[in-house]
Amino acid sequence: MQDEAIVEMFWKRDESALNEAQIKYQSYISKIAVNILADIEDAREIVNETLFRAWNSIPPQRPSMLKTYLGKIARELSIDLYRSSRRKKRISSELTVSLEELGDIISDSGDSDFDSKVLGETIDRYLHTLSSESRTAFVQRYYFADTVREIAKRQGVSESAVKSRLLRARRGLKEYLEKEGYTL
């Protein structure tokens, strides 16, 4: 079923929209959650909570890209659960690894320079300076928390090629942020 039809079902408060969205996007949402949380049971909860949030937000929202909309909800929910779980106990996931890779560039310093919205816009501008392959690898690694192996397989290159792209992208991001006036 097309996304537009599913969104229309949400809009009309047709409960079958939940089933259609789950059929179409359950594995996508689960992958995001598992990459961040490293726990299949938590991922199942995230799928359900994502669909519940979508139900409660459509309307008034009318997403033009349902996959992206659900992915964003799933990522936010997963990160919230990750932070909550991490406070209680030490957990390790691809998110932990990818955040450690970015740790030298972006930290939780509490510095007002790191206003998340402005920083996000700055990073977005930087990403548009990268090649398509590097930008895709960066987003897959640091937004979706995909493994280097998964990215390499998708891009049809070696893992070392992906690691090199990511290293150059991180170095470039650091330089870009410094030029933009961020103190790192």
Instruction: Look up the CATH number of the domain holding residue 51.
Output: 1.10.1740.10
Same domain (yes/no): 7, 79: yes
Same domain (yes/no): 23, 84: yes
Could you tell me the residue range of the domain that residue 109 belongs to? 96-179
Q: Quick check: 37 pLDDT over 60?
A: yes
Percent of the chain with pLDDT over 90: 64
Residue 159 and residue 48: Cα distance in Å, rounded? 33
CA atoms within 13 A on the CB side of 149: 2
- Domain final residue, candidates 33, 57, 88: 88
What the block records as the tokens of 34 is 């598992």
- Domain final residue, candidates 88, 123, 145: 88
- Is residue 184 included in any domain, yes or no? no
Same domain (yes/no): 171, 103: yes
Same domain (yes/no): 84, 101: no
Domain count across the chain: 2
pLDDT of residue 73: 97
What the block records as the tokens of 92 is 């390790």
pLDDT of residue 68: 94
Q: What b/e sequence results for 66-89 when a residue is b if at least 16 CB atoms lie within 10 Å of its CB, and e otherwise?
A: beebbbebbbebbbebbeebeeee
115 or 59, which is more confident? 59
pLDDT of residue 151: 95
pLDDT category at 98 given cuts 50, 70, 90 is low
Cβ(130)–Cβ(169) below 8 Å: yes
Same domain (yes/no): 131, 80: no
pLDDT category at 96 given cuts 50, 70, 90 is low
- Is residue 54 included in any domain, yes or no? yes
The most confident of 2-11, 76-85, 171-180, by mean pLDDT: 2-11
- Is residue 80 included in any domain, yes or no? yes
Q: What is the CATH number of the domain that holds 133?
A: 1.10.10.10
- Domain final residue, candidates 65, 88, 111: 88
Same domain (yes/no): 82, 105: no
Cis peptide leading into residue 60 (ω within 30°): yes
**What pLDDT, in 10s, does the model give residues 40-54?**
999 999 999 999 999
- Is residue 11 included in any domain, yes or no? yes
